Amino acid sequence: MRSNELSNERPLGLSDERANKPIITREALENLTYQKYGDSPTIRSYTKWKLFEENSPLKLPTEAKAGEVPVRGHVAFSGSEASFDLPNGVELTEGTLGLSQPEESRILGFHFYALKNAYSLKIKENLAEPLVVVSHLSERAFISHHLSIEVENARVPIIIYDMAEDGTKSLVVELKARNAEIELLTVGKHRSLSHYLLRASLGGKSRIRAFTAVYGGRMSHHREDYSLEGKESELFLRGIPIGIGSAVDYLTNVLQYGEESKSETRVHGFSYKNGWTVHRGTAKVFERARNSSSVVVSEVTIMDEGSLGVSVPMLEVDTGEIEAASHSSSVRQFDEDALFYLRSRGLDREEALSLFVHGIGEALSSHLERLRSKARSATAELVEELL
């Protein structure tokens, strides 16, 4: 085991060379925009970028003390500090995998502008217990955390806790899988502004089973990008974005290049108490990805009047040799008949809503094996705290 704590110091075991991470100047930030609007005239309103502009690293401190982290992790980022207590078989280095760059968007420009250190983990053997990663901020500042994970010839369960209590927090996770099986559970608990980006690259015969439960804060922009590059690579992604008196813009993007690759994305979001829940799910099967399959299912349930739900699934197929391809969208009000039935059995409204959301969480997490119980308990805890 290794245990290292740092604020401005380099962790033990890392070289003294300059960190291998992208650099961007304040001047270069001025030329960047948050996102391109060409694909939809309404897309600009999904994330309230004005809030990030008002709370950017150009206006807030980029240093913060560690707070009281409610979850213990093998990798723990809190404020500007980081600590590592890694299991055997996990190697710590410094730098990124290069899967994200500051020139892509203004929010990523802010991320790298404020970023102090980037760390990388290499895993080449099976892990008996989940690798737990925690990203936390409890002060008014703009803080960036950046972690890369390479998994090769191994089966690895990973849990990521993304927690923003105050200020603006940006977390970028880069993930590369080669002949690997990964179960990935992501739990987002936000009160303030949060930017999250997962970039995953899957080589041949790699499989990722992912489940995301994210509770939006003042504004949460949560994005997951998966690139299925190798033959027979597979992704099974499930998500529950929840906006209860809060806002979450949840984006899932899947690019399929590998032959006989398979992707299945199913998301069911909820909005309540003037909440704002958006899911944008995109999948593209490229010409060389012959004999592949791709599914995108997007649903949002609006639990009461005054809340907003948006579902935007998109599917593009460039090859005629396709096994299966489908997408569907649904935005609906909560079933008042079901609510009446549950209340007639002695439950109040919020207990009935909690039971309904918990049931959806159980159904969506059934594809997991080692992390199924943790995913279900995490969803239940989120709902209980919110309601």
Residue 174 clears pLDDT 50, i.e. is over it: yes
**Per-residue model confidence as pLDDT tens digits over 246-272:** 999 999 999 999 999 999 999 999 999
Residue 10 clears pLDDT 60, i.e. is over it: no
What DSSP state is assigned to residue 30? T
pLDDT for the residue 40:
53
Mean pLDDT estimate for the chain: 91
pLDDT for the residue 2:
41
> Once rounded to an integer, what is the mean pLDDT over residues 194-202?
98
CA angle, 117 then 145 then 149, to 5°? 85
pLDDT band, very low/low/confident/very high, at 37 (cuts 50, 70, 90): low
Nearest Cα neighbor of 124 from 86, 93, 90 is: 90
Q: Tokens 């970039």: give the residue.
A: 199
pLDDT for the residue 384:
75
Per DSSP, the residues of 77-130 read EETTEEEEEEPTTEEEEES--SS--GGG-HHHHHHHHH----EEEEE-S--SS-
Side chain identity, residue 42 = T
The neighbour count for residue 152, using CB atoms within 10 Å, is 16
The three-class DSSP label of residue 8 is coil
CA 161, CA 194: separation in Å to the nearest integer? 13
pLDDT for the residue 130:
98
**Per-residue model confidence as pLDDT tens digits over 284-326:** 999 999 999 999 999 999 988 999 999 999 999 999 999 999 9
What DSSP state is assigned to residue 19? P
The residue among 40 and 150 whose pLDDT is bigger is 150
**Cβ neighbourhood burial of 274 (10 Å; 0-12, 13-18, 19+):** middle
Kindly list the strands in the beta sheet with 155-164, ordered across the sheet, starting from the edge strand earlier in the chain. Answer: 2-6, 81-86, 75-78, 131-137, 155-164, 181-190, 207-215, 234-244, 262-272, 292-302, 322-333
With a CB cutoff of 8 Å and minimum separation 6, the contacts of 377 are none
Residue 98 clears pLDDT 80, i.e. is over it: yes
Nearest Cα neighbor of 76 from 139, 157, 137, 150 is: 137
Residue 333 clears pLDDT 50, i.e. is over it: yes
CA 38, CA 35: separation in Å to the nearest integer? 9
Side chain identity, residue 81 = E
Contact between residue 309 and residue 281 where contact means Cβ atoms under 8 Å apart: no
Residue 358 clears pLDDT 90, i.e. is over it: no
> Once rounded to an integer, what is the mean pLDDT over residues 138-153?
98
Window from 59-63, 96-100, 341-345, 382-386 with minimum mean pLDDT: 382-386
Contact between residue 182 and residue 209 where contact means Cβ atoms under 8 Å apart: yes
Residue 5 clears pLDDT 60, i.e. is over it: no
> Once rounded to an integer, what is the mean pLDDT over residues 219-229?
98
pLDDT for the residue 61:
98
pLDDT for the residue 12:
37
Window from 8-12, 143-147, 282-286, 342-346 with minimum mean pLDDT: 8-12
The three-class DSSP label of residue 33 is coil
Per DSSP, the residues of 252-291 read EEEEE-STT-EEEEEEEEEEESS-EEEEEEEEEE-TT-TT
pLDDT for the residue 258:
98
- Name the maximum alpha-carbon separation found in the chain: 67
Residue 11 clears pLDDT 50, i.e. is over it: no
Q: What is the pTM of this model?
A: 0.92
CA 191, CA 293: separation in Å to the nearest integer? 37
Side chain identity, residue 245 = G
The residue among 337 and 250 whose pLDDT is bigger is 250
